[in-house]
Chains A and B, each alone.
Chain A
Amino acid sequence: MKVLKLNTILNEDDVRKLKVGDVIFFTGIIFTMRDMAHLRALEIIKNGGKLPFDLKNRIIYHCGPLIKNNKVISAGPTTSMRMEIFEKDLIMITGLRGIIGKGGMGENTKKALKEHGAVYMEFPGGAGALAAKSILGIKEVYWKDLGEPEAVWVLEVKDFGPCFVTMDSQGNTLGYF
């Protein structure tokens, strides 16, 4: 187990070094994406379109934040398994390197993490107030028509964590799966 402070832009080499049990605090930019944003992103791509934001080497956060006056009030992770049916495709197509969520993911995501070189991490579920503490602000918002929880919020974070690696790029998992 290592405690690391990392930037949110990761290349394959960085990610391959991460192992289950590592604890990471991130500084940079993360993209919230949950159910409807996954659905829309893949629809756009499958119809030959292009996403309005670039996820290559980036981190997405399974989160529907609570927002007031353009400020993030509380923003813990949501249950990642709901995104399992989309995640393999999203990883392979966009080239994202990290997913932060909670509650673990399934076999397809595991395969994609290994094949592409990416990690799945968990922020303590329910700790929304704590998460918001390390969110400095909102850089951008996409797809607001999906509703506040489902939109893609581009968040500027400082020492965002603890993010525990629970599925690494070698196919290892941590805890009860």
Chain B
Amino acid sequence: MNVEDIVEAIRALECDLPKDVENKLLLAKEKEEGLSRMIMEAILENVKYARENKIPICQDTGIIEFFVSCEEKFSEIRKMIIEGIKRATEEVPLRKNTVNPFTRENQGENLGRFHPILHFENSNEAKIDILAKGAGSENVSCLSMLDPTCGIEGIKKLVIQTVKNAGRRPCPPIVVGVGVGGTMEKAIYFAKRALLRELNSKNPDLNLRELEEELLKEINKLGIGPMGFGGKTTALGVLIEWGHCHTASLPVAVNIQCWALRRRTIILR
């Protein structure tokens, strides 16, 4: 892998949706009518236009997060990613999104303290998953430290309530990433990692697969619909990732993702 691969992966993810996401949007369009159908048509036209002209799908090119899974060369990879972000900002281009949270000063490089956002996982998988997270959906996401006795019912309630509270703001139809367990920060990490899974993939855990299907059904009963105009499709999918947690805790994170679920994977050779 070199810097060029990173720049090209960022370009590809910003300018073209993964096929599984576009297919879900096509299916959603068929289910909608009236203004909600017009919205879906505009969304799909936008996806096509962006792809053909190599233009970022959305002006909010997001904060780009890197999930690096490998066994070595962490520092080398980190350097390449920093260079990749700098170049992609100019070449793709990316909107200059990172600011100082206190002064709101924008240095114009999409870098800054603790940037880029890197998650290193020591693993023999040898790949980098890249996710562009826009603020519209990130802003309505949530973390809750539930009591262990809340159980699965508590998890369901939190997911549904979070989607309800988000309402029409996060650019529905959304994808809902749910992280359960771990520690406070890991629950959020799991929720984000869940978004890396393909929308037509099945959760390997049968119980979780059923839970994902049940939650998706419940969410789509809310009637929020495309852009909140009302309709059958509020979410395209619910994806759950989990880890063991403290006996006294039940951390649950709900990471809302807009319809423009932009991800790519680089396989490390």
Q: Are B168 and A104 in contact (CB under 8 A)?
A: yes
Contacts of B134 in A (CB 8 A): 126
What total count of A-B pairs have CB within 8 Å?
150
Q: Are A125 and B258 in contact (CB under 8 A)?
A: yes
Q: A36-B104, A74-B55, A175-B225 are in contact. Are A126 and B97 (CB under 8 A)?
A: no
Q: Are B169 and A162 in contact (CB under 8 A)?
A: no
Contacts of B57 in A (CB 8 A): 74, 126, 128-129
Q: Are B168 and A66 in contact (CB under 8 A)?
A: no
Please tell me which one of the listed residues A74, A131, A147 contacts residue B104 in the complex, with CB atoms under 8 A apart: A147
Question: CA of A81 to CA of B229 in the docked complex: distance in angstroms?
Answer: 16
Q: Are B168 and A126 in contact (CB under 8 A)?
A: no
Contacts of B60 in A (CB 8 A): 64, 76, 78, 128
Q: A64-B59, A68-B93, A147-B104 are in contact. Are A126 and B45 (CB under 8 A)?
A: no
Please tell me which one of the listed residues A79, A129, A149, A162 contacts residue B56 in the complex, with CB atoms under 8 A apart: A129
Contacts of A65 in B (CB 8 A): 59, 95
Q: Are A64 and B45 in contact (CB under 8 A)?
A: no
Interface residues in B, total, Cβ within 8 A: 48
Of B35-43, B69-77, B236-244, the one with at least 4 CB within 8 A of chain A: B35-43
What 9 A-B pairs have minimum CB-CB distances, sorted nearest first?
A147-B106, A127-B46, A125-B171, A129-B50, A128-B59, A103-B169, A130-B46, A74-B59, A124-B42
Which residues on B are within 8 Å of A, measured CB to CB?
35, 38-39, 42-43, 45-46, 49-50, 53, 55-61, 90, 93-97, 99, 104-106, 108, 134-136, 139, 167-171, 222-225, 227-230, 258-260
Please tell me which one of the listed residues A68, A74, A79, A164 contacts residue B229 in the complex, with CB atoms under 8 A apart: A164
Q: Are B49 and A129 in contact (CB under 8 A)?
A: yes
Known: A64-B95, A73-B56, A175-B230. 11 other contacts (CB 8 A): A73-B93, A74-B50, A74-B55, A74-B58, A79-B135, A81-B169, A103-B167, A103-B227, A128-B59, A175-B227, A177-B168
CB distance from A25 to the nearest CB of B (A): 12
Question: CA of A161 to CA of B53 in the docked complex: distance in angstroms?
Answer: 19
Please tell me which one of the listed residues A76, A133, A177 contacts residue B58 in the complex, with CB atoms under 8 A apart: A76
Q: Are B95 and A126 in contact (CB under 8 A)?
A: no
Is A148 part of the contact surface with B, judged by Cβ < 8 Å? yes
Determine which residue in A126, A164, A175 has the highest number of CB atoms from chain B within 10 A of its CB, and name it: A126
Q: Are A102 and B171 in contact (CB under 8 A)?
A: yes
Smallest CB gap from A81: residue in B: B169
Question: CA of A68 to CA of B59 in the docked complex: distance in angstroms?
Answer: 12
Contacts of A131 in B (CB 8 A): 59
Contacts of A1 in B (CB 8 A): 35
Determine which residue in B104, B135, B227, B230 has the highest number of CB atoms from chain A within 10 A of its CB, and name it: B227
Contacts of A162 in B (CB 8 A): 38, 42
Q: Are B93 and A66 in contact (CB under 8 A)?
A: yes
Smallest CB gap from B97: residue in A: A149
Contacts of B260 in A (CB 8 A): 126
CB distance from B258 to the nearest CB of A (A): 6
Question: CA of A132 to CA of B95 in the docked complex: distance in angstroms?
Answer: 14
Determine which residue in A122, A131, A176 has the highest number of CB atoms from chain B within 10 A of its CB, and name it: A176
Residues 144-177 of chain A, each 1 if its beta carbon lies under 8 Å from chain B, else 0: 0011111000000000001010100000001111
